[in-house]
């Protein structure tokens, strides 16, 4: 081995300004990630949480889990407009509601998971209702 190959090379310097830092993602963010960002901004809003709390139609704010999902999607869309999360702000409420279900599953807080939780454990459902 010659002298040059034995010398330790200095690593490249770290960027000193935020604009010079580049995040390298394994995958590009998807719509669900955008909905999650807005959901995280709303998740302490009492009215929003009321819409997500029920696990049966009879206890839903509107009397229907589907209508509660739609109202939650409308709140997400309005907040996305404020936050300038354009893909959510411009999406249809149904798309937002479907994505919200995915976001809630990421946190193990979907209506189905909470409905089927007994003693802190999720038990299998006898029916295949995915709401």
CA atoms lying within 13 Å on the CB side of residue 65: 15
Note the pLDDT of residue 83. Answer: 97
Query: Could you read off the pLDDT of 52-62 as tens digits, one per residue?
Result: 999 999 999 99
pLDDT at 84 over 60: yes
Comparing CA positions, the residue from 77, 70, 91 lying closest to residue 38 is: 77
Query: Could you read off the pLDDT of 20-45 as tens digits, one per residue?
Result: 777 666 777 899 999 999 999 999 99
Residue 10 lies in a domain: no
Measured N-to-C along each axis, helices 31-42 and 93-106 cross at an angle, to the nearest 10 degrees, of 80
DSSP type of residue 55: S
Residue 57 lies in a domain: yes
pLDDT at 96 over 80: yes
Residue 22 lies in a domain: no
Task: Give the percent of the chain with pLDDT over 70.
Answer: 84
Domain count, the chain: 1
pTM, two decimals, is: 0.75
Residue 7 lies in a domain: no
Range of the domain at 87: 30-116
């Amino acid at each position: 081995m010659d002298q040059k190959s034995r010398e330790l090379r200095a690593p490249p310097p770290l960027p000193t300004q935020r604009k010079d830092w580049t995040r390298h993602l394994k995958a590009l963010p998807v719509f669900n990630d955008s909905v999650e960002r807005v959901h995280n901004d709303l998740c302490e809003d009492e009215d929003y949480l009321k819409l997500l709390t029920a696990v049966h139609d009879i206890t839903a704010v509107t009397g229907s889990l589907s209508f509660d999902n739609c109202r939650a999607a409308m709140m997400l869309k309005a907040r996305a407009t404020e936050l300038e999360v354009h893909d959510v702000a411009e999406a249809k409420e149904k798309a937002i509601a479907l994505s919200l279900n995915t976001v809630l599953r990421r946190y193990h807080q979907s209506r189905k998971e909470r409905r089927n939780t007994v003693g802190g454990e999720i038990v299998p459902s006898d029916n295949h209702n995915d709401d």
